[in-house]
Amino acid sequence: MSNEKLVPVTIDADITSDDVLRGVQSDNFDHIQQTVQDPETVGRRIDARIIEADSLAALLGNDTVLHAQDYLNQPFQLLKVEWRPSDQPNGLPFYAVLTIADTDGEVMPMTCGARTVMLKAAKMDAAGWLDERPWVRIVKSDKPTEAGNYPLDLQAAPAPF
């Protein structure tokens, strides 16, 4: 990566799971770091979420956004992953917004910036495995990294029924 400062450009496309995997593989995130969310694109995404709702619960669900750190060890179905640019100084230049269904079938968004969780979600999405609606859970390591962080991981979970 060069030392030149990247100039953000507004685009009408979303960050894709393929973009995420390609960036990690090449260790080059220029294509992501130049992304600025276009308000019209965000509006279209909200419209699509409403139009594509497949149940009353999905349509009228609450606006609560879960954070992966607050939902550890609880099984859920991973339905979809979207990517948003991140302004965090450490870590990857994006974070994941996971659409999940809990054990009661309630659909809700969950955010996560943990590298391993994001990479696994990106791989599952890019490979088409999210079509299987896998049951997974987020677990926290018992041991901290040298920096004192406790890494999160995405693991398979048994279906609750």
CA 92 to chain centre: 12
- Grouping H, G, I as helix, E, B as strand and the rest as coil, residue 64 is coil
pLDDT tens digits for range 24-67: 999 888 767 555 566 777 688 778 878 888 777 677 766 678 99
Task: Report, as an integer, the average pLDDT of 122-150.
Answer: 95
Looking up tokens 């009353």 gives 56
Q: Is residue 120 part of a domain?
A: yes
Residue 90: count other Cβ atoms within 10 Å of its Cβ. Answer: 8
Q: Is residue 1 part of a domain?
A: no
pLDDT tens digits for range 58-98: 777 666 789 999 999 999 999 999 998 888 877 888 999 99
Q: Is residue 52 part of a domain?
A: yes
Radius of gyration of the chain (CA): 16
Rounded to whole angstroms, the Cα distance separating 24 from 107 reads 29
Q: Is residue 32 part of a domain?
A: yes
What whole-number percentage of the chain has pLDDT above 70? 83
Task: Report, as an integer, the average pLDDT of 140-153.
Answer: 92
Q: Is residue 47 part of a domain?
A: yes
Task: Report, as an integer, the average pLDDT of 131-148.
Answer: 94
Looking up tokens 């995997």 gives 21
HSE-CB at 6 with a 13 A cutoff on CA atoms is 15
pTM above 0.85, yes or no: no
Q: Is residue 41 part of a domain?
A: yes
**Parent domain of 62:** 9-142+149-156
**Number of structural domains the chain divides into:** 1
Task: Report, as an integer, the average pLDDT of 107-120.
Answer: 94
DSSP string for 108-134: EEEEE--HHHHHHHHHHHHTTGGGG--
